[in-house]
Structure 1
Amino acid sequence: MEHLMDHDLWDEPIEVVIGPGDHFKSIRGSRDALVCLMTCWPQKGGDSFALAKRACMEAAEGRGDPSTAASAFRVAASDAGILR
């Protein structure tokens, strides 16, 4: 059986800007992304946020595609203005 954490990782990390200044965080997988979405997102809500949250949750649980989650997260980060 494939280890759950392995398939949670994305092909390449997505960098986001967190908080004031130039603090960057590399998001490497769906679980990382979920934590980021729930704890350090500037504005929770909106379509892209909801889509990213759902896609990341499904991928983290092994029910969804990690690349779909990565794409959704990238769009949400872009919409939130924190994509590096």
Structure 2
Amino acid sequence: MPVTALVVACVGPMCAYSAPDVSFDSVAQCERAAPAIAGLSRASMTNALWDPSSRTERTAFQCIDSATGKVLLSFDSEEAAHYKLIRD
């Protein structure tokens, strides 16, 4: 089943949203790749001349079944208990 990642990466008040063109073969692949995608997004935000007043970081992502749109895994670093693997 092809899986897509929807990633939110924030530094201070600025956030970037991305959904890479890459499809993953499994939820596990998506789960491993999503934090790296967030890190790259954050790096590109702070690589510019912008220096955020706050360095707080947030990472959130969902791994979504490309065929049905069903959320298979959800993670949000602002909510410590929010790490859900959704199963039927």
TM-score, length basis structure 1: 0.33
TM-score, length basis structure 2: 0.32
Larger radius of gyration: 2
More helix, by proportion: 1
More strand, by proportion: 2
